[in-house]
């Protein structure tokens, strides 16, 4: 039986649950717990700075016991690149020194992401799709229309802020999420064959 899940704005007490969901959906949408020794490192890249810096564009799904999904958005990826660098990644790097190039573990690669920060794509379409997002639901919350509901909550917040469009990146190993985005009306902006797609959604 489906349980009712409530969609509401992010609150700081949700942060640990969001990091956990980030990890549990990190393996092309499947559970990534076994891939990482450090359970925080991926959340520091894909969850923490969004929640800390752009909380009005973050929403969660919860039942009476726990948070089971989130959408994390930023309205202006160029501004987020600057702010996340100044207020997040530059502070984290001393805690996460780079590991040798020869280390191909997921932990080492996540550290490289922290050192790369979150630069905005330098591309002609950025002015039309300046926002970006990450969305993850635990398996118990998937397939019930809740991913669409989270997306619509973010779209409404972005429209209120006057944002013309939103982009996202999805790995080639996650065709299910890719098909979900196309079904919702996203179109392809860029493709790196066999690696990832960049998709865009027009909010006007």
Site residues for ligand ACO per CB under 6 A: 25, 29, 134-137, 142-148, 168-170, 174, 176-177, 179-180, 183
Closest to 41 (Cα-Cα) out of 85, 76, 89, 2 = 89
Q: Which is nearer to ligand ACO, 6 or 103 (CB)?
A: 6
- CB 14 to ligand ACO: min, Å: 16
Q: Which is nearer to ligand ACO, 99 or 169 (CB)?
A: 169
Residue 148 CB neighbour total at 10 angstroms: 12
- CB 153 to ligand ACO: min, Å: 12
User: Residue with CB nearest ligand ACO?
Assistant: 147
- CB 96 to ligand ACO: min, Å: 22
Q: Which is nearer to ligand ACO, 25 or 77 (CB)?
A: 25
Q: Which is nearer to ligand ACO, 130 or 147 (CB)?
A: 147
SS (H, E, C) the chain: CCCCCEEEECCHHHHHHHHHHHHHCCECCECCHHHCCCCCHHHHHHCHHHHHHCHHHEEEEECCCCEEEEEEEECCHHHHHHHHHHHHHHHHHHHCCCCCCCCCCHHHHHHHHHHHCCCCCCCHHHHCCCEEEEEEECHHHCCCCHHHHHHHHHHHHHHHCCCCEEEEEEECCCHHHHHHHHHHCCEEEEEECCCEEEEEEECC
Closest to 80 (Cα-Cα) out of 40, 53, 110, 106 = 53
- CB 146 to ligand ACO: min, Å: 4
Q: For the chain, what is the radius of gyration of the CA atoms? A: 16
- CB 98 to ligand ACO: min, Å: 25
- CB 164 to ligand ACO: min, Å: 19
Q: Which is nearer to ligand ACO, 55 or 140 (CB)?
A: 140
Q: Which is nearer to ligand ACO, 104 or 183 (CB)?
A: 183
């Amino acid at each position: 039986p489906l349980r009712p899940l409530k969609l509401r704005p992010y609150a700081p007490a949700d942060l640990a649950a969001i990091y956990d969901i980030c990890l549990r959906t990190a393996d092309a949408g499947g559970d990534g717990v076994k891939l990482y020794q450090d359970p925080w490192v991926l959340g520091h890249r894909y969850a923490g700075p969004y929640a800390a810096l752009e909380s009005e564009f973050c929403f969660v799904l919860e039942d009476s016991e726990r948070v089971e999904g989130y959408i994390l958005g930023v309205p202006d990826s160029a501004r987020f690149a600057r702010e996340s660098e100044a207020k997040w990644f530059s502070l984290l790097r001393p805690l996460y020194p780079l590991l040798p190039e020869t280390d191909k573990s997921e932990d080492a690669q996540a550290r490289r992401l922290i050192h790369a920060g979150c630069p905005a794509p330098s591309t002609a379409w950025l002015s039309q799709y300046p926002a970006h997002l990450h969305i993850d639901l635990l398996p118990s919350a998937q397939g019930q229309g809740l991913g669409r509901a989270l997306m619509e909550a973010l779209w409404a917040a972005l429209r209120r802020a006057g944002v013309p469009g939103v982009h996202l990146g999805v790995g080639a190993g996650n065709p299910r999420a890719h098909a979900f985005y196309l079904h919702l009306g996203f179109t392809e902006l860029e493709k790196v064959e066999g690696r990832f797609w960049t998709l865009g959604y027009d909010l006007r």
